[in-house]
Amino acid sequence: MSAIVLKGSDITVADIAAIARKDAQVEIAPDVYDRLEKARTILDRAAASGQQIYGLNTGLGANLKTSVTEDIGAFQQQLVRGRGMGVGPSLPRDVTRAIMAARLSMLAVGGSGISSPVFNDLLALLNKQIHPVVPSIGSIGAGDLVLLSAIAQTLIGEGAAEYQGKVYPSAQALKKASLAASQLGPKDGLSLLNASAVSVGHGALVAADATALLQFQRQAAALSFEALGGNPLILAPAIQSARPAAGQVEEAEKLLALLEGSPLFEAKTAIQDPLSLRCAASIQGALAHALKAATEAVEIELNSAADNPLVIIDEDRVLSTGNFHTPSLALAFETLGLAIAQAALASAARFIQLTGSGRNGLPRYLSPVGGASAGFVPLQKTVTALVGAIRHKANPVLLDFLAVSEGVEDHATQTPLAVAKCADIVDLWRHLVACEMLAAAQAIDLKPGYRCGKGTTETYEYVRETSGRLEEDRALGGDVSELAIRLATNC
């Protein structure tokens, strides 16, 4: 795989996913180091002039008015140690790598004032695949200092890190990889901490997963059209252009492409189908629109200087900022969670239509034997449980915060939590898509001689590569899980 080159711009969600999940190497464009050196020079000059610079010669948060005049390097170590307050299960390997890659991308923009050696130490940590043990709870979205401190601790040889599949004390992990602990200079510690890289890195993976899964949702919906004998005229371009709501036109085009060659276009179909079929383009179009907004929000952060204080190279000065605050990112992922929930509920509704008492000539419960056979109907409970969990996770959290640090930090965004629960929603949704695919494929099997369109045939075959036709009652939970795993693997 080609290396991902950080140049302070144009880094995408896909780039972060490649670094996080495929261990793509990261390289740095030469002009990045020019910016880092310029910013460092400006920072040092400002500090030498006596300017108060937050986190360099002042304390943090409620300690803002406390001056730091002695051993500034030691103070940076103190900042790192003193923010190690996170708790909860540690983040998965891929999320940790995404966070590290996100912070490097943001630092490459050049506004932090971080020293080149410490920047290179973080780069080496990522490329040598040393993964700090990062707790999952401790950030309220006003910067991710508490969680990022775990990465900074590993850099200075403290805390714990995973290396080659085992967790070691960080100093031991560094030694095994032939790396030395970082020596933090003025502001280096704060530069490692004071950003929203947890939210941004994790958000990049969520956006990548949702993008891949949306395509599987399209395939599932199109196969349900075939199975239920849906009216494809609802996808006609003229209907979409009459009310071109967000994403609707494009979504209808994608569904039509999947149904190309289907006998539905010649068959006698119902005038109007249930809304989960009839409105699939508008429901999934709204999701596609929300997903695009979330992706753009992440990519803005990946290619921006979100530091406080910020070194403004073009103006040769250092100013305090609020760029670490991410209300737009939080709102984008809250919206994405709600949009996924809408699409997931439509998927569940189609599943209920498929597995009910019989629609469009399908056998009751999609059972080929009838009688007392339960067929797919017990799976309706699993689907309902998945829906309940999604609805719960979709409740917004961005307004749930308290003022902290003696009222200095009296607003927060809860972006890490908004992103994390959106990740949970995607996982639950993946299982719903698997349920719909399995039911639709079974329905196709129970329509003798039926031939699907080109795209829907491919979807049917994809399902049958994982799960065989239900001939008599059997446990289907394993089939759902196996297909969901395969959907995740292909994300």
Q: Which domains does the chain have, with CATH numbers?
A: 4-195 (1.10.275.10), 204-489 (1.20.200.10)
| Tokens 């896909």, located at residue | 14
The full 3-state SS of 210-269, as one line of letters, equals HHHHHHHHHHHHHHHHHHHCCCHHHHCHHHHHHCCCCCHHHHHHHHHHHCCCCHHHCCCC
DSSP string, 145-194: HHHHHHHHHHHTT-SEEEETTEEEEHHHHHHHTT-------TTHHHHHHS
The model's pTM: 0.95
**pLDDT in the model for residue 55:** 65
- For residue 347, the model assigns a pLDDT of 98
Q: What is the DSSP letter of 473?
A: -
∠ CA 167-172-178, rounded to 5°: 115
Q: What is the pLDDT of residue 67?
A: 66
Nearest 10 degrees: Cα torsion 224, 226, 229, 234: 80
Picking from 16, 187, 159, the residue whose alpha carbon sits closest to that of residue 86 is: 159
pLDDT at 389 (0 to 100): 98
CA distances from residue 224 to 15, 229, 359, 442, 467 in whole angstroms, order as listed: 34, 8, 12, 10, 17
* CB-CB contact of 142 with 123 (8 Å): no
∠ CA 185-186-190 to the nearest 5 degrees? 100
The pLDDT value given to residue 68: 66
Whether residue 168 contacts residue 161, with contact meaning beta carbons closer than 8 Å, is answered with yes
CB atoms within 10 A of CB 145: 27
Q: What pLDDT is stored for residue 64 in this prediction? A: 57
Model confidence pLDDT, tens digit, residues 395-414: 998 888 877 876 667 888 89
285 Cβ neighbours under 8 A, 6+ residues apart? 245, 246, 247, 248, 249, 250, 251, 252
End-to-end CA distance of the chain: 17
pLDDT at 360 (0 to 100): 73
Query: Which segments of 295-354 are extended strands (E)?
Result: 310-312, 317-319
Neighbours of 83 (CB within 10 A): 24
pLDDT for position 100: 98
* Helix segments in 84-144, DSSP class H: 93-107, 116-127
pLDDT at residue 141, as a whole number: 85
The predicted pLDDT at position 385 comes to: 98
What is the distance between the alpha carbons of residues 302 and 415, in angstroms, rounded to a whole number?
Answer: 15
Q: State which residues of the chain have pLDDT below 70.
A: 54-57, 59-73, 359, 406-408, 491
Tokens 């003696």: give the residue: 406
